[in-house]
Amino acid sequence: MGYKVALVGATGNVGREMLSILDERKFPADEVVALASRRSMGVEVSFGDKTLKCKDLETYDFSDVDICLMSAGGAVSKEWSPKIGAAGAVVIDNSSTWRMDPDVPLVVPEVNAAAVDGFTKKMIIANPNCSTAQLVVALKPLHDKATIKRVVVATYQSVSGAGKDAMDELFSQTKAVYTNSEIVNTKFPKRIAFNAIPHIDVFMEDGYTKEEWKMMAETKKILDPKIKLSATAVRIPVFVSHSEAVNVEFENPISADEARDILRNAPGCLVIDKREPGGYVTPYEAAGEDATYISRIREDATVENGLAFWCVSDNLRKGAALNAVQIAECLINRKLITAKKKAA
């Protein structure tokens, strides 16, 4: 018997991507329900060759739902995830609300699939931040081999990570540059067209931004609390896919050739690494793909046991929607949930 899946936030970038991925991966769902706020009630969204009409989250009965994919932002998740969990559905949440809760597993299936077993405490599983997800997919096999001590990462993050309005702003500002029109900033603090903004999320007391803090805290929770990590998160004028320049210091020796071989065989990783023009992956090529692409793998002679590499992934897919669907598949494959009996 198939599962009943509810998707909260079906009209957003990530919600629409989740519907697309559920269909692509032939997820074993008998029924998929699209949910949104009251103002989006009746809005139609595509699910394979079907069209779903959004229903109102506030009046929906979750008692026969097996899995709820939540992609409606932190405030909605904080209010609704516990209620939906109490009704008996497992909530897989894409916001930052539950990630650091000790009773909520934070899961990237290629890295720590066994952690899903802890979902029963709150009936919630958290999806990590988009920039963390691709990073830990690349770090995990290297950590298993040589034990990571320290990571320094600079991100080059696409505007889709800030939602549809941010994508629209990049488009309209780019057009304004070419037509010599007024450039309006609403979503970003400075113009994003033909620019780079070293500021994602709010600033914290120590000078880091919340986005940078998330990468540090989430990597520790998912991979290893002993890893030290420093990040600089930068927004760039790209529509989809986040890129990262990663520098890693290990406890034990590891060569670039060893790292290349390890990553080639690691789940979720694709190595494209030729030392020639174009022998690497850019955000444009990673868009629409599931893999975390790794290029420019090289030894860092400035530290003992150091490596540097370039890592790119579609932030709407592996960074959000795909990871959530993979978590749902993990629950099923590990036989942690069964479909509820449907009323006759």
What's the angle, vertex CA 211, arms to CA 210 and CA 217, rounded to 5? Answer: 80
Query: Which residue is listed with tokens 């949440």?
Result: 93
Query: Looking at residue 114, what is its pLDDT?
Result: 96
The token pair that represents 248 in the structure block: 């890693």
Query: Looking at residue 342, what is its pLDDT?
Result: 58
143 tagged catalytic = no
List, for residues 246-293, the tens digit of each pLDDT value: 999 999 999 999 999 999 999 999 999 999 999 999 999 999 999 999
The token pair that represents 32 in the structure block: 């998929």
List, for residues 112-156, the tens digit of each pLDDT value: 999 999 999 999 999 999 999 999 999 999 999 999 999 999 999
pLDDT, mean of residues 72-77: 92
Side chain identity at 100, as an amino acid letter? Answer: M
Query: Looking at residue 288, what is its pLDDT?
Result: 95
**pLDDT of 43 above 70:** yes
pLDDT, mean of residues 172-193: 97
Q: Which of 54, 68, 143, 242 is catalytic?
A: 242
Q: Which of 54, 68, 130, 269 is catalytic?
A: 130
Query: Looking at residue 343, what is its pLDDT?
Result: 45
- Whats the size of the chain, residue-wise? 344
CA 112 to chain centre: 15
In this prediction, residue 79 has a pLDDT band, given cuts at 50, 70 and 90, of: very high
Q: Burial of 80 by CB count in 10 Å (0-12 exposed, 13-18 middle, 19+ buried)?
A: buried
**pLDDT of 341 above 70:** no
Within 8 A by CB and 6+ apart from 205, the residues are none
pLDDT, mean of residues 59-80: 94
Q: What is the mean pLDDT of the chain?
A: 96
% of the chain residues with pLDDT over 90: 94
Query: Looking at residue 278, what is its pLDDT?
Result: 97
**pLDDT of 200 above 60:** yes
What's the angle, vertex CA 29, arms to CA 26 and CA 34, rounded to 5? Answer: 105
pLDDT, mean of residues 312-339: 95
54 tagged catalytic = no
